[in-house]
Amino acid sequence: ESCPSIKNILLLDSEGKRVAVKYYSEEDWPTNAAKESFEKAVFTKTQKTNARTEAEIAMFEGTIVVYKFVQDLHFFVTGGENENELILATVLQGFFDAVGILLRGNVDKKEALENLDLILLCLDEIVDGGIILETDSNVIASKVASHSIDAGAPLSEQTISQALATAREHLARQLLK
């Protein structure tokens, strides 16, 4: 596998509790317990470091973790042990800065939880199934924040049964081709 890949992105608070996490590698952490113990290990190991001005880096359990802290929030991006460290750092910076833009500079746990929908959408726009989608924080933030009413789409009044019917009809048409 030569494509750069991200194993997880974590946003924890100053006690190591989850604010938002996203795992892309189920085989490394198949259960919630495995995920929590990894988070605990990452948090404990990095807790005392000063990752506030520059992103820091650590290696353990066969992974590389880059991380950055602000206020009571701890940002982590994890990759495989042979991953290019600077790629991981770029993803971290994209996430970190995009959250800063979305929270209008008030980056702390309270603000993050109050805007959890934005944080989750942000994670969704950065990485898809382990593959990097976007690293430019401005692009990420603008994708998350774009919200105008979709005027172009016709008003949809479909009910479930209608949806089902259309789906069946569509299937049938495909089969007849």
Partner 1 sequence: MAQPLVKKDDDRDDEEYSPFLGIEKGAVLQEARVFNDPQLDARRCSQVITKLLYLLNQGESFTKVEATEVFFSVTKLFQSRDIGLRRMVYLIIKELSPSADEVIIVTSSLMKDMNSKTDMYRANAIRVLCRITDGTLLTQIERYLKQAIVDKNPVVASAALVSGIHLLQTNPEIVKRWSNEVQDAVQSRAALVQFHAVALLHQIRQNDRLAVSKLVTSLTRGTVRSPLAQCLLIRYTSQVIRESGNVQTGDRPFYDYLEGCLRHKSEMVIFEAARAITELHGVTPRELTPAITVLQLFLSSSKPVLRFAAVRTLNKVAMTHPVPVTNCNIDMESLISDQNRSIATLAITTLLKTGNESSVDRLMKQITNFMSDIADEFKIVVVEAIRSLCLKFPLKFRALMNFLSNILREEGGFEYKKAIVDSIVILIRDIPDAKESGLLHLCEFIEDCEFTYLSTQILHFLGIEGPKTSDPSKYIRYIYNRVHLENATVRASAVSTLAKFGALVDSLKPRVFILLRRCLFDSDDEVRDRATLYLNTLGGDGSVVETDNDVKDFLFGSLDVPLVNLEASLKNYEASEEPFDIKSVPKEVKSQPLAEKKAQSKKPTGLGAPPTGPASTVDAYETLLSSIPEFSNFGKLFKSSAPVELTEPETEYAVNVVKHIFDSHVVFQYNCTNTIPEQLLEDVIVVVDASEAEEFSEVASRSLRSLPYDTPGQTFLAFEKPEGVPAVGKFTNLLRFIVKEVDPTTGEAEEDGVEDEYQLEDLEVVAADYILKVPVFNFKNAWESMGADFERVDEYGLGPRENLTEAVNAVISLLGMQPCEGTEVVASNSRSHTCVLSGVYIGNVKVLVRLLFGIDSSSKEVAMKLAVRSEDGAVSDAIHEIVASG
Which positions lie near partner 1, rule CB under 8 A?
2-4, 18, 20-21, 32, 35-36, 45, 49-50, 54-60, 66, 84-90, 102, 110, 113-118, 120-121, 124, 128-129, 131-135, 143, 145-150, 152-153, 155-160, 163-164, 166-167, 170-171, 174
Q: How far is the CB of 148 from partner 1 (least distance, A)?
A: 6
Q: How far is the CB of 99 from partner 1 (least distance, A)?
A: 12
122 vs 100, 136, 138, CA distance in Å? 11, 12, 11
Nearer to partner 1, 135 or 137 (CB): 135
Q: How far is the CB of 3 from partner 1 (least distance, A)?
A: 5
Q: How far is the CB of 98 from partner 1 (least distance, A)?
A: 14
Nearer to partner 1, 30 or 128 (CB): 128
